[in-house]
Chains A and B, each alone.
Chain A
Amino acid sequence: MLTKRIIPCLDIKNGRTVKGVNFVDLRDAGDPVELAKIYSDEGADELVFLDISATEERRKTLVDLVRKVASTINIPFTVGGGISSVSDVEILLQNGADKVSINSSAVKNPQLINDLAQKFGSQCVVVAIDAKQIDGQWIVHLVGGKVPTELNLFDWAKEVEQRGAGEILFTSMDNDGTKNGFANEALAKLSDLVNIPIIASGGAGNIQHFVDTFVVGKADAALAASVFHFKEIEIKTLKKELKNNNIEVRI
């Protein structure tokens, strides 16, 4: 049976790992390659690297990092952050990334999703969607959740699927950094609406939250950062508990 995936997310700034609390106030959590290897050995199913640097050198630094990660670990990984063109994607895939995630660039230029799916296949195109509720409506936001768009989460999810996305990474900005659990109601609705895998993100605080997002939220994968980086949850323990709750995981 296909298993539910546990995905640690490493936020990268200038080649180092960081994790924001509510995307502000960054803390340092170490060397990305070393951390990637530890997670891979502990049983992470995949990794996501999200580059948040804004320097001129960022592309070269990121490509170097992708090569180092790909040569070190033997599980799949996704790279996101500032990717806005077919050539950006090409260089990352050529250097060993398995998938890329696009966010703002997909909102600004939805055709990019079609272009990437056509050139590289849907399997490597992850569309990341950040959304929060405004007057009871889930509204897509950009720039780490600071800028609202006119897009409704569910309409946008349907559109990215139709354009060829292979997976959706949904981050609830209402839950992110709270450690109060994932946005399971919205997740379940998304999962019923589209027929591509959904990664739940934002709100992981304890093991029960993961159980809930797989059972109640119908998520295919769950992503978290700080609970893993600061060893509040060990991946091995988490997977054992998921298994005890009759959730299929790779152990």
Chain B
Amino acid sequence: MKIVIINYGAGNIQSIMFAIERLGFKAVLSNNPDEIKAADKVIFPGVGEASSAMKMLLESGLDALIPTLKQPVLGICLGMQLMCSKSEEGNTKGLGIFDVDVIKFTPKVKVPQMGWNQIYNLKSPLFEGISENEYMYLVHSFYAPSCPEAIATTDYEVEYASALQKDNFYGTQFHPEKSGDIGEQILGNFLKLND
């Protein structure tokens, strides 16, 4: 199986590489459109600020490529947010895959949300064998509100979409690669999709 992690200069890519290795697979880093198109699974990472990450995608042309991919694609954290219509962070347009606008938590809660919170209302093959209310590791100041494409919900200030799915596109606000054995299991489920 060929796993490609999209390399556009954003994100803690090494942790995802190591998690995939622990699951017995190997991933390659690439920003080459042909290599990304030919992959069995594509992971779209991201940590940092939305508008500068989006700028890097635009400069590399990856913004046009990603929405056309046909194989399972997993956006993680900022990766997921960039797959939405737009983000309040830096007022940037997103890739428009998920029909939802990313907004910021208010000062009623500590921002960023940092730490372990529960995921529930799970509905996707991504969560095969995962119980409701498992804890995942999250670090974020912006979030996707509840919407029809939500496949997991988390409660912080409001109930929001902590994972999204549309067709072959998946996104998790949490970091499966940093969420212990259960997180690794979710990443493993993604790698098993279409098998």
Q: Spell out A's residues near B (CB within 8 Å).
A: 1-5, 40, 45-46, 67, 70-71, 74-76, 93-98, 118-124, 166-167, 195-197, 220-221, 250
Contacts and interface: CB of A to CB of B under 8 A. Distances in A.
Nearest to B176: A74
Main secondary structure on A side of the interface with B: loop
A120 B48 contact: yes
B184 A167 contact: no
**Which of A45, A118, A121 has most B Cβ within 10 Å?**
A121
Contact of B178 (A3, A5, A74, A93): A74
B110 A74 contact: no
Interface residues of B, number: 36
Contact of B181 (A70, A74, A97, A250): A74
B110 to A, nearest CB: 5
A122 B183 contact: no
B111 A2 contact: no
Contacts of B48: 119-121
Given A45-B115, A74-B181, A123-B114, A94 B140 contact: no
**Which of A46, A94, A123 has most B Cβ within 10 Å?**
A123
Given A97-B12, A122-B141, A197-B114, 17 more contacts: A1-B155, A2-B116, A4-B115, A70-B14, A70-B15, A70-B18, A74-B22, A74-B178, A75-B179, A76-B137, A76-B175, A98-B12, A123-B139, A195-B107, A196-B110, A196-B112, A197-B112
B47 A250 contact: no
A87 B14 CA distance: 17
Interface string B32-53: 0000000000000001110000
B116 A45 contact: yes
B47 to A, nearest CB: 6
A44 B89 CA distance: 31
Contacts of B181: 74
B21 A123 contact: no
Contacts of A221: 115
The 4 closest A-B pairs by CB, nearest first: A96-B14, A121-B48, A250-B135, A123-B139
12 contacts: A2-B113, A2-B116, A2-B156, A45-B115, A67-B14, A74-B181, A75-B178, A93-B12, A96-B15, A98-B139, A166-B114, A197-B112
B24 to A, nearest CB: 14
Given A74-B19, A74-B183, A122-B141, A5 B12 contact: no
Nearest to B138: A2
B168 to A, nearest CB: 26
B31 interface: no
A74 B180 contact: yes
Interface string B82-119: 00000000000000000000000001001111111110
A94 B137 CA distance: 19
Interface string B110-148: 111111111000000000000000010101110000000
Interface string B153-183: 0011000000000000000000101111101
Nearest to B53: A121
Interface string B19-32: 10110000000000
